[in-house]
């Protein structure tokens, strides 16, 4: 029901109007990476100056 009401509000172009509570649709879990890098300016652009490796002691699951 929340999804339908949200879609109707969107069709009315009411800008910052929100719907809350009630049944919520399930959302898929999205994994994120643990990346790290340093950048430095280079002629109006940026260059990667260092890429950090994974920390020691991280579990294999955390490294994915």
pLDDT tens string, the chain, 64 residues long: the values are 788 877 777 777 656 666 677 777 788 877 766 678 899 999 999 999 998 876 655 556 655 5
Closest to 48 measured CA to CA, from 39, 61, 57, 56: 39
- CB-count burial class (<10 Å; 0-12, 13-18, 19+) for 17: exposed
For the entire predicted model, the pTM comes to 0.33
Q: How many CB atoms lie within 10 A of CB 41?
A: 8
pLDDT at 53: 75
pLDDT of residue 16: 65
């Amino acid at each position: 029901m929340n999804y339908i009401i949200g879609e109707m509000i969107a069709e009315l172009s009411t800008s910052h109007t929100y719907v809350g509570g009630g049944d919520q649709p399930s959302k898929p879990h999205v994994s994120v990476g643990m990346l790290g890098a340093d950048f430095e300016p280079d002629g109006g652009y940026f260059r990667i100056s260092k890429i950090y490796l994974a920390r020691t002691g991280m579990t294999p699951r955390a490294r994915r």
